[in-house]
Every structure is written in structure tokens, then in C-alpha cells.
Amino acid sequence: MSDITIHQPSAEFVKQANVSGMAAYEALCKKADTDYEGFWAEQARDLLSWKTPFTKVLDESNAPFFKWFEDGTLNASYNCLDRNIEKGLGDKTAIIFEADGGEVTKATYSQLLAKTCQYANVLKSIGVKKGDRVMIYISMSIEGVAAMQACARIGATHSVVFGGFSAQSLRDRVEDTGAVAIITADQQVRGGKHLPLKAIVDEALTLGGCDSVKNVLVVKRTGGDIAMTSGHDHWMSDLADKQATTCEPEWVGAEHPLFLLYTSGSTGKPKGVQHSTGGYLLHAALTTKWTFDLKADDVFWCTADIGWVTGHTYITYGPLALGGTEIVFEGVPTYPDAGRFWQMIQDHKVSIFYTAPTAIRSLIKAAEANDAVHPKSYDLSSLRLLGSVGEPINPAAWEWYYKHVGGSRCPVVDTFWQTETGGHMITPLPGVTPMVPGSCTLPFPGIQA
């Protein structure tokens, strides 16, 4: 270990951090150790808005099927949208969407709520009700986030499938969930290419086992030529434009299933992981607040796809539950060139950047071959925090990321977690933890690792 350099967060960062200094971290851990239920109850009351306050924190009677806050009721969409508007954030930018070709669209909290409500009303108009499962097979977009929020709003359970997956993968997930509807797009755009989505949905539905699907809702992305079956396939905009921009949230029990997400299935068939509303949303919000130190004026960019759990927690739910501003990016890091990430950080003044070691390693290679796409050729001074997710980051890549992207001044949070946990388990806290390149360091407060 002698050749590993330990990096300390700067005094200025520590001073302003949401969790500031090792003593504060140790106090949180001690609180969780001595009164586990009290610790999580306090966080749940502080960070979430409840329609019916919970009186029971944890039910361990059927371990390992633990129940959290089970007699409380809430709505995830209300927590992410309405309450921010009630706090006066209606005109604040919720999402900055950059398309593959560079076009930028912004949605305020009020606009995102309006679209979510219209989509929720569309789902209700085709008979989707609380407890039904809805499959979402769509590219990165404001519409993708709104579709997820719309399901949460009416108490339907969403299951998002990554837009790069095959018809067979989609079919297997439809059959397993018994989904009654699919939300998709005509096509997606990646690296300058138009790729099919609706055509893959059509193929999946011919493979058998998808009789539960009664309707397919299609978002128009490219206007490409696609087949539409009358009475079964509907253009989302045709239906949404006729709907009200208000929709009363369906208040659900904290244990109500918010989503089903399938792990990759590296051994055997993909396994569906079900996350409940209360416990999941709390962990999404708390980890966004403490691990990413999210502040009101931050621009947060998680580069993951909403088809993965990282995109669920750190795009669709966590940052929005805290009233943050975030980037949603449709494209790939190497198109039109390998400077795309750095260009976007410069253009949008991104302050928190969260990506995967695979992306970092490929961009190191490109930067070393071509100065024009090296981070030093861009103004990255807006950055104050970097994150890594998805796999272990090797020390050499960590050091490059820290030095060349973060200017040796941004803490790097190397986060360990998985689909099953829904949020960070072991991670540095940026105002607390000495950073060890290649190590995810210490457990998140309240996590027994």
C-alpha cells in the first residue's frame, strides 16, 4: 500500500459539507448503532412528506422480508414534484436535457409536473390502475423520467428495460411482470444513429407470453416510419394533449411496490428486484444529500441510463426529491468526439459529475491520443465533486479522474452498492472521508456492513 496516496478533502469543502468532518460522521453512525429505528425514523420524517405519518418504523417479524414505515402513506411523485412547487421551486429548472445531436431542452418543476400528470391521466384513461405493472422501454429523455413519475403518481409499478436490450429480453420481463401496458418511443438516437424501439416492442409481443399487454404508448422521438396497430398502439402526444395537467396523487402504503428492475442475469435468468416506495425513496434522497452533498444551486449529472438502478435512484428520484437541477443525456461519451462529457460539463456548468470507471478508462485513452479531447482543453472549474459507480475503479484511473477532471480539488466518491440495495452502501462522504484511490472506504451512516 506504500505507493497509494491518500487524499484529504479540502478544509473549504469540509466546512460547507452536508456532513462535515469525521466527528459528525461518527456521531451519525453512533446514533444509528444505539437507536437503529430512531435514526431511520428521524431521517424519514425529515426528508419525506407523508400523507399518513407512520407509527411503526421496522417490522422484522418475517425476516429477511423486512417492512419499513408500513402504516405510513405517501406518494413518490408528490415528493419529487408537487412539494418542491409548494416550496416555491416551480420555476426552477428540474431537468436540462441534452439530445444526442446537442439540442438542449429544459423542464422546470412545474413543467415536469404538468407532463407527469398528463401521462398519468393517459395511463388512467387506458385502464391502468393502482398495483398494475407498466413496462417502460425508452431512451434517455424528459419523457422517460415523466413516464416513471406518472406510474408512481397513480400507484402503478414501473419496470424499466434498458433501450439496448433485445426483443427476447423485453418479452421475458413483460411475461414475468404481467405488464398491462408498455411505454416506448418510435426510435432512439445514439451516436448519430436512429435505432429501433417500437419495432423491438412489436417483435417482443410476437414471441408469446405477452398477452397481458393491452396497450402500447409511443413517444415521438424521431418521427421515423413505424407500424401502429389501431386500438392497441397509441401516440402518447395524441392522448396526452387531451388530458388535464393536474392529477391527484394516489397515496400508497410505504411498502407499496414502486418499481421492479431486473438484474442482468449473469447467472441464469434475470432476477426481478422489487423496491417499495417509502424505504427506497428515503435512501435515494438521503444518499443524494450526504454522498453527493447536493445543494440548491448545484447542477448534478449522473451519466447512467434510466434502464439501470443508478438512473432510477440518481436521476428519476434522488435529485428531484431534494429539489435539485440535473442533466439528462441521450447520447454516448464518444460522439461526436471523446470530449463530449467535458464539453457538456463546461456548457451546463455541471458541479457534481457521476459516471462509471469504464467510461473514464475509455476517455483516458482518447485524451492521451488527442489533446483536443483532453479535459485540460475545457473549462471544468464549475465541478466541485466527482463520483464513480458500477464497478471498482482502479487506482490509476481514480488518480487521472481526480487530477485531470477534478483539478486535484474535487473529492471523489467511489460508491459501492447494487440493484438490490437501491442506493449507496459503502462510500466516502466528501466532507468526511480521507480518499484512498481504488477503495470505497467506509459504510454509509446507518448501514451495517
pLDDT in tens, 284-322: 999 999 999 999 999 999 999 999 999 999 999 999 999
State residue 3's pLDDT score.
74
- Residue 102 pairs in a beta bridge with none
pLDDT in tens, 26-63: 999 999 999 999 999 999 999 999 999 999 999 999 99
Position 339 pLDDT exceeds 90: yes
Place 97 in a pLDDT band, splitting at 50, 70 and 90. very high
State residue 178's pLDDT score.
97
Position 4 pLDDT exceeds 90: no
239: phi then psi, degrees, rounded to nearest 5: -80, -40
pLDDT in tens, 187-229: 999 999 999 999 999 999 999 999 999 999 999 999 999 999 9
pLDDT in tens, 98-149: 999 999 999 999 999 999 999 999 999 999 999 999 999 999 999 999 999 9
Average pLDDT over residues 159-168: 95
Position 419 pLDDT exceeds 90: yes
State residue 127's pLDDT score.
98
pTM (two decimals): 0.97
pLDDT in tens, 233-268: 999 999 999 999 999 999 999 999 999 999 865 667
Structural contact between residues 345 and 378, judged by C-beta atoms closer than 8 angstroms: yes
pLDDT in tens, 6-27: 999 999 999 999 999 999 999 9
Query: How high is the mean pLDDT of the chain?
Result: 96
Measured between alpha carbons, how far is 98 from 139 in angstroms, rounded to an integer?
12
State residue 1's pLDDT score.
44
Position 2 pLDDT exceeds 80: no
